[in-house]
Amino acid sequence: MESQLTVLKQLVVLFIAAFLWFFSVAWVNSDTQKTGRNTKFWNTIFFFFSPISLIIYLSLSWKNKLKKRTVTPRADLVLLKGNGEPLFLAQGGGQESLTLDSVKDLIKKALNNRSTDIHLSPKIHSLLTRFRIDGILHDGPSFPERLGTAILSSFKVLAQVDIAERRKAQDGSFIVVADGNTINFRVSTTSSLYGETMVIRILDSKRGLINLNKLGLSPQVEEECNSLIASSHGMILVAGPSGNGKTTTLYAILNRVNTGEKNVISIEDPIEYELAGVTQIPIHSKTGVTFAGSLRTVLRQDPDVIMIGEIRDLETAEIAFRASLTGHLVLSTLHATEAVEVVARLLDMGLKPNFVSSSLIGVLAQRLIRILCPKCKKSYKPQNLEELYKNGLKLGEKDVLYKPVGCKYCRNTGYKGRIGVFELLIIDKEIRTCIDEKASKEDIFSIIKEKGMLTMKEDGWEKVKQGITTIEEVERVLK
Ligand SMILES: [Zn+2]
pLDDT in tens, 113-135: 889 999 999 999 999 999 999 99
| Residue 259's pLDDT band (cuts 50, 70, 90) | confident
Where is average pLDDT lowest: 89-93, 235-239, 316-320? 89-93
| Residue 335's pLDDT band (cuts 50, 70, 90) | very high
Tell me which of 277 and 240 has the higher pLDDT: 240
CA 260 to ligand 1 center in whole angstroms: 42
Tell me which of 154 and 63 has the higher pLDDT: 154
CA 401 to ligand 1 center in whole angstroms: 16
CA 67 to ligand 1 center in whole angstroms: 29
Average pLDDT on 24-36 reads 82
| Residue 67's pLDDT band (cuts 50, 70, 90) | very low
CA 419 to ligand 1 center in whole angstroms: 17
Q: What is the pLDDT of residue 70?
A: 36
CA 404 to ligand 1 center in whole angstroms: 8
CA 413 to ligand 1 center in whole angstroms: 7
| Percentage of residues of the chain with pLDDT beyond 90 | 57
Q: What is the pLDDT of residue 22?
A: 82
- Say if residue 478's pLDDT is above 80: yes
Q: Which of 453, 223, 214 is nearest to 338 (CA)?
A: 453
Q: What is the pLDDT of residue 367?
A: 96
Q: What is the chain's Cα-based Rg?
A: 31
Tell me which of 92 and 57 has the higher pLDDT: 57
Contacts of 220 (CB under 8 A, 6+ apart): 454
Give the angle 206-208-213 at the CA atoms, nearest 5°.
Answer: 115
- Say if residue 91's pLDDT is above 70: no
**Beta strands per DSSP E along 378-434:** 378-380, 401-403, 415-426
| Percentage of residues of the chain with pLDDT beyond 70 | 93
Q: What is the pLDDT of residue 57?
A: 74
CA 20 to ligand 1 center in whole angstroms: 59
